[in-house]
Amino acid sequence: MFLSIDAGNSNIVFGFFDPSLGEWRHEFRVETARAITAIELGQKLSLFFLENNLGPGDVSRIGISSVVPEINPVLVECAAIFFGVAPYLINGSSYGKLRVSTHRPNEIGSDLMANMTAAYERFEQSCIIVDFGTALTFSVVDEQGRVAGVNIVPGLKTAVKSLFINTSKLPEVKLELPSSAIGQNTVHAIQAGVIYGYTGLVKGMLATIKEELGRDCKVIATGGMSKILTPLEGTFDEVDRNLTLKGIKLITEANL
């Protein structure tokens, strides 16, 4: 199997692609902890493998995208110890053989490059990728596969946590779609503000980007929070939870 590791600010995602089935079969998430060791991470993986009847030998290739540089040595060491595989760590020099190109490869997160690579490989035309993660990002690739640019705003959970941290009376609430856009209590008010507020933000940003591009494009959503904003149903041409994992695989294979 191929293992894509997507290390973000909130979670490290391990996605396993089974070539015999042509699909992503398993996914394992662990909270991103800067102090975690390779041994501790390997222990968590061992338990996951036991629960899913897998063995470390089932993994033959590993690609890593990380936006948390301080944990990169841990991920590389864990791959060597637990799987016996030298992983490929995506970096600014990884994109030369791709159909997607950028003039400033070190300024764009490898996760966003993975998103654009997978989206362009899928549609072969202009794409906007909306990634609902710790940050909410809009990545744009043009019809020639060139990176047009990226927009970044705080993610939904980040916004809720910011309210909780920076106010005295507002609680940290669970992100659920409220019954209306007009809050009837404090929890409802925060949920309505964030859910419907971000719905408007996404629609407005997409409309502005499309107007500036002046051409038709595909819109793809990904990220752990992509299904929270149910009022956005119909806004996206495709919702692909595994988009980043697919891009990591494509970038890794292009460099091996």
Q: Which of 6, 18, 58, 111 is catalytic?
A: 111
Q: What percent of the chain has pLDDT over 70?
A: 100
- Which residues sit opposite 153 in a β-bridge? 136
What digits encode the pLDDT tens for the residues 223-251? 877 777 788 888 999 999 999 999 999 99
Pairing between strand 88-89 and 61-66?
parallel
- Output the pLDDT for position 61: 97
Give the model confidence (pLDDT) of 153-180 as tens digits: 999 989 988 988 898 888 888 888 888 9
pLDDT for the residue numbered 109 = 94
Asked if 226 and 241 count as a contact pair (C-beta separation under 8 A), the reply is: yes
> Do 171 and 161 touch, CB atoms closer than 8 A?
no
Please confirm, yes or no, whether 6 is among the known catalytic residues: no
